[in-house]
């Protein structure tokens, strides 16, 4: 639901009626709404028990369920310029803790009985923002407090809500190795406080396939390493990035890529050199795409953090990381617990002309394609 502007409860409900319900009708199967509820919406819902009850009843009337929230964007995710402001407040700030706690309270009221809930959130903060020496310690303190609050919520409601920190390029947790290192640090402190069991139950990872593909990580190996390290993947974002082969020699692809540079969201761009070294650029620009510097021009591939429709193998001369998505779904199917899966393409409004689809049709195509991948995976596993 972060596809749609939602600064008030009314706007969220308009999005449900205008887009989600028609998608469900086209999809012809039960559909869960992955809600994004901005800080202003959460406050409105919690201003009285009646408001939250009314909203929950509205979901039921629409024949929608809700198991997961996206609590990464805190404020207006559809302003003219979002870029690095999406990482504010970071996890060292009490506003982030309180917002996430309130999201969990809302989710517990919306979840069906007998189900667990998940909330995705930013990976601590943005690497290019100055941070004090105690930044990680402050984040850990806040995550420990969140774990206590989620434990208390479980005692009060019987509902288990799990947080998923979502690694992203140019954030303080962006690679698999950084995720494992941070969780080991978090667990060390939790162990000292005799809170390790609760922390492991409530604090885990949201694995966005687009983000890890942009890092040129081996997706199957990444998920296996997280599982081996004991990091629980509470949620998977079913997403694809843009991929460009041999960009220095493919002028047509570079000119096509230039059309994806836009002013609202960050589009971190990584290049893989023939020797395996990864070059990183904070944001895609038209000038860079058309006339890259020598290092990027010499790369054997580029990947761009631009969420593109997950049913697309190609976008004109550009490719997507859909092969990595297939690998991720296969790897997750081998886990001994079931993460939530959420199709999370939010960039429909900023796709270049010619690549846009009417939104209801586009979302339906993505869900149908994902269901097809899961069915194919199930058949393959049954045949083994």
Q: For 301-343, what is each residue's pLDDT tens digit?
A: 999 999 999 999 999 999 999 999 999 999 999 999 999 999 9
Q: For 14-32, what is each residue's pLDDT tens digit?
A: 999 999 999 999 999 888 9
Locate the domains of the chain by residue range.
9-240+321-383
Residue with tokens 């964007």: 73
What does the DSSP 8-state code read for residue 8? S
Residue 221 token pair: 């190996």
Task: Look at residue 266 in the predicted model and tell me its pLDDT.
Answer: 97
Task: Look at residue 81 in the predicted model and tell me its pLDDT.
Answer: 86
pLDDT band at 42 (very low <50, low <70, confident <90, very high): very high
How far is C-alpha 341 from the chain's CA centre? 10
What's the rounded Cα separation, in Å, for the pair 162 and 142?
15
Strand-pairing partners, residue 343, are 238
Q: What is the mean pLDDT of residues 92-120?
A: 97
pLDDT exceeds 90 at position 356: no
pLDDT band at 219 (very low <50, low <70, confident <90, very high): very high
pLDDT exceeds 80 at position 252: yes
DSSP characters over 181-233: HHHHHHHHHHHHTT-HHHHHHHEEEEEEHHHHHHTT--HHHHHHHHHHHT--E
> CATH assignment of 9-240+321-383?
3.20.20.150
What's the rounded Cα separation, in Å, for the pair 103 and 204?
16
By percentage, how much of the chain surpasses pLDDT 90?
91
Task: Look at residue 379 in the predicted model and tell me its pLDDT.
Answer: 87
Nearest to 64 by CA among 34, 37, 36, 42: 34
Residue 271 token pair: 């290049």
- Among 74-83, 132-141, 236-245, 295-304, whose mean pLDDT is lowest? 74-83
Task: Give the mean pLDDT of the chain.
Answer: 95
């Amino acid at each position: 639901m972060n596809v749609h502007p939602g600064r008030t409860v009314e706007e969220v409900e308009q999005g449900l009626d205008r887009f989600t319900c028609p998608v469900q009708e086209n999809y012809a199967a039960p559909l869960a709404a992955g809600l994004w509820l901005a800080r202003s919406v959460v406050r409105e819902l919690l201003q009285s028990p009646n408001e939250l009850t009314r909203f929950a009843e509205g979901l039921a009337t629409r024949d929608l369920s809700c198991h997961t929230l996206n609590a990464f964007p805190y404020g207006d995710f559809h302003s003219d310029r979002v870029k690095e402001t999406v990482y504010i407040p970071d996890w060292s700030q009490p506003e982030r803790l309180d917002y996430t706690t309130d999201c969990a309270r809302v989710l517990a009221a919306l979840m069906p009985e007998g189900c667990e809930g998940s909330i995705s959130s930013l990976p601590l903060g943005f690497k290019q923002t100055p941070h004090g020496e105690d930044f990680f310690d402050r984040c850990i303190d806040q995550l420990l407090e969140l774990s206590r609050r989620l434990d208390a919520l479980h005692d009060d409601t019987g509902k288990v809500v799990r947080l998923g920190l979502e690694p992203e390029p140019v954030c303080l947790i962006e690679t698999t190795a950084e995720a494992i290192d941070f969780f080991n640090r978090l667990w060390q402190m939790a162990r000292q406080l005799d809170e390790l069991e609760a922390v492991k139950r409530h604090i885990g990872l949201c694995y966005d396939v687009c983000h890890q593909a942009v890092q040129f990580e081996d997706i199957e190996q990444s998920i296996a390493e997280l599982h081996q390290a004991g990091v629980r993947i509470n949620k998977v974002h079913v997403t694809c990035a843009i991929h460009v082969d041999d960009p220095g020699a493919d002028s047509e692809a570079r000119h096509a890529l230039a059309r994806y540079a836009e002013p609202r969201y960050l589009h971190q761009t990584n290049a893989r050199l023939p020797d395996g070294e990864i070059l990183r650029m904070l944001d895609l620009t038209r000038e860079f795409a058309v006339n890259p510097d020598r290092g990027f021009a010499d790369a054997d591939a580029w990947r761009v953090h631009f969420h593109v429709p997950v049913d697309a193998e190609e976008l004109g001369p550009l490719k997507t990381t859909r092969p990595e998505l297939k690998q991720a779904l296969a790897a997750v199917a081998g886990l001994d617990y079931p993460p939530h899966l959420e199709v999370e393409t939010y960039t429909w409004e900023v796709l270049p002309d010619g690549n846009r689809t009417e939104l209801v049709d586009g979302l339906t195509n993505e869900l149908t394609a994902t269901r097809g991948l899961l069915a194919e995976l199930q058949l393959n596993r049954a045949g083994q």
